[in-house]
């Protein structure tokens, strides 16, 4: 699989202790996520950050919305450090970030990156000053920033200016184009302003989030053509379940295929009882499906049809998939490269042997009316045929032996 050529961006460094997460440049596309706990609840927040990090989130954003939350941030960091979790924390600031970063220096130090929303950093004369205070904190403590514009909280003064300008055009743009321009202008002009204040441009990451797939594609194509800052991609408020997953995958894949995007977040609304980590799993699957990164061995399985009247192959595919995923924390360290392994579990001999040959290990379970035999292919060659009631167990053992070898 050939990964698309990436747009050349600057490289930011998001650092905590020995852990350096590079974003942009030649770094792989990074995965990030955000907690939904009240940051004041230090233990709950630290536990969720750790869960997200263990699921594969390489940076975790937490809400910093009140003095109490800002005061809690160093304790969240301390808890994580005690748990041996060094994932960098990103502070999500809106409205009062300038005050919180100035009045709570321990919070400013404990975070590795600040998310600044130029749409609500302040109005009129105060805007520049308050934005400047956040940039000064980033410079003082040597932190990266994400200038994150969102069309739900777009700078209204800028939008009004652009609409006014548009009304004087011979052929005015439509409302959507004006909105795109406002998002892009807000992000880029804020970044340039931060650089003028002295912040190293490499340490600036930009995002312009919207909730429609076509809008996101249009905005990021425009944004990427007009600057070389590292870009954070995400379909904001993507929604729940299948809708949110599919919309995020569609939007992010189009842009990633164009080489646009240095870090991604899938903003899923968890369904009741659904783990917050699901958004990290979806983000990882998008990058893996695109051939850009590998996180877990992939299991290819056919959908099954009238040729398979039992669910044996589906159960085997599910069990193998779960087993491989559960082993990864240990295997990743013990068997480097194991995440690139491909396993095929197929329902009959129609496509089974062919698909198995393309995998590192593949098995075709006997379909309806076929002889009760399951050919196994290893590295493209037929290695054996399994028979009897222990086919699933024996295949598990073969996979295990392959990994160890």
d(CA 118, CA 24): 22
Number of residues in contact with ligand SF4 under rule CB under 6 A: 13
User: Cβ contacts of residue 373 below 8 Å, gap of 6+?
Assistant: 366, 385, 386, 387
Of residues 367, 374, 378, 391, which one binds ligand SF4 by CB under 6 A? Answer: 367
Of 160, 163, 261, give the one whose Cα is nearest residue 209: 261
Bridge partners (DSSP) of residue 343 are 299, 361
Of residues 102, 177, 269, 351, which one binds ligand SF4 by CB under 6 A? Answer: 351
Shortest Cβ 320–ligand SF4 spacing (Å): 16
Shortest Cβ 62–ligand SF4 spacing (Å): 45
Of residues 56, 74, 297, 347, which one binds ligand SF4 by CB under 6 A? Answer: 347
Q: Per CB under 6 A, does 350 bind ligand SF4?
A: yes
Q: What track of x and - describes contact with ligand SF4 for positions 292 through 321 (by CB under 6 A)?
A: ----------xxxx-xx-------------
Q: Per CB under 6 A, does 373 bind ligand SF4?
A: no
Shortest Cβ 310–ligand SF4 spacing (Å): 11
d(CA 88, CA 49): 10
Q: Per CB under 6 A, does 369 bind ligand SF4?
A: no
Shortest Cβ 363–ligand SF4 spacing (Å): 12
Q: Which residues of 179-200 are buried (b: 16+ CB within 10 A; e: fewer)?
A: bbbbbbbbbbebbebbbeeebe
d(CA 7, CA 384): 46
Per CB under 6 A, the segment of 23-31, 51-59, 324-332, 345-353 that binds ligand SF4 is 345-353
User: Residue 362: phi, psi to the nearest 5?
Assistant: -145, 150
Of 74, 10, 61, 4, give the one whose Cα is nearest residue 32: 61
d(CA 244, CA 221): 21
Shortest Cβ 47–ligand SF4 spacing (Å): 41
Shortest Cβ 348–ligand SF4 spacing (Å): 3
Residues that bind ligand SF4 (CB under 6 A): 302-305, 307-308, 346-348, 350-352, 367
């Amino acid at each position: 699989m050939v990964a698309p050529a990436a747009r050349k961006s600057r490289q930011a460094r998001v650092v905590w202790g020995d852990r350096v997460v590079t974003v942009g440049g030649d770094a792989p596309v990074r995965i990030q996520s955000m907690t939904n706990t009240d940051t004041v609840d230090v233990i709950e927040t630290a536990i969720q950050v750790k869960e997200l990090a263990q699921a594969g989130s390489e940076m975790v954003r937490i809400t910093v919305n009140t003095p109490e939350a800002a005061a809690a941030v160093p304790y969240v960091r301390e808890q994580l450090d005690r748990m041996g979790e060094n994932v960098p924390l990103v502070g999500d600031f809106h409205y009062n970030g300038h005050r919180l970063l100035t009045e709570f220096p321990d919070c400013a130090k404990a975070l590795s990156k600040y998310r600044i929303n130029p749409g609500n950093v302040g109005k009129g004369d105060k805007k520049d000053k308050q934005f400047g205070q956040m940039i000064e904190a980033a410079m003082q403590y040597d932190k990266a920033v994400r200038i994150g514009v969102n069309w739900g909280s777009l700078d209204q003064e800028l939008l009004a200016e652009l609409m006014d300008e548009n009304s004087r055009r011979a052929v005015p743009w439509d409302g959507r184009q004006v909105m795109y321009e406002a998002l892009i202008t807000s992000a880029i002009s804020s970044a340039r302003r931060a650089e003028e204040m002295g912040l190293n441009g490499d340490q600036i990451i930009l995002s312009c989030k919207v909730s429609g797939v076509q809008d996101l594609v249009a905005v990021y194509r425009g944004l990427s053509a007009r600057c070389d800052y590292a870009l954070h991609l995400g379909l904001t408020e993507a929604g729940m379940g299948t809708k949110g997953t599919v919309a995020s995958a569609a939007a992010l894949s189009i842009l990633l295929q164009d080489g646009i995007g240095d870090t991604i977040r899938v903003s899923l609304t968890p369904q009741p009882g659904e783990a917050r980590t699901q958004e990290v799993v979806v983000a990882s699957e998008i990058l893996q499906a695109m051939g850009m990164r590998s996180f877990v061995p992939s299991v290819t399985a056919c959908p099954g049809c009238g040729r398979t009247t039992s669910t044996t192959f589906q159960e085997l595919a599910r069990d193998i998939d779960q087993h491989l995923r559960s082993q990864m924390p240990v295997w990743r360290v013990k068997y480097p490269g194991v995440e690139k392994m491909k396993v095929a579990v197929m329902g009959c001999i129609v496509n089974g042997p062919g698909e198995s040959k393309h995998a590192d290990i593949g098995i075709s379970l006997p379909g309806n009316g076929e002889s009760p035999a399951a050919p196994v292919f290893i590295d493209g060659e037929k290695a054996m045929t399994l028979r009897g009631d222990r086919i699933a167990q024996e295949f598990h053992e073969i996979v295990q032996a392959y990994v160890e070898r």
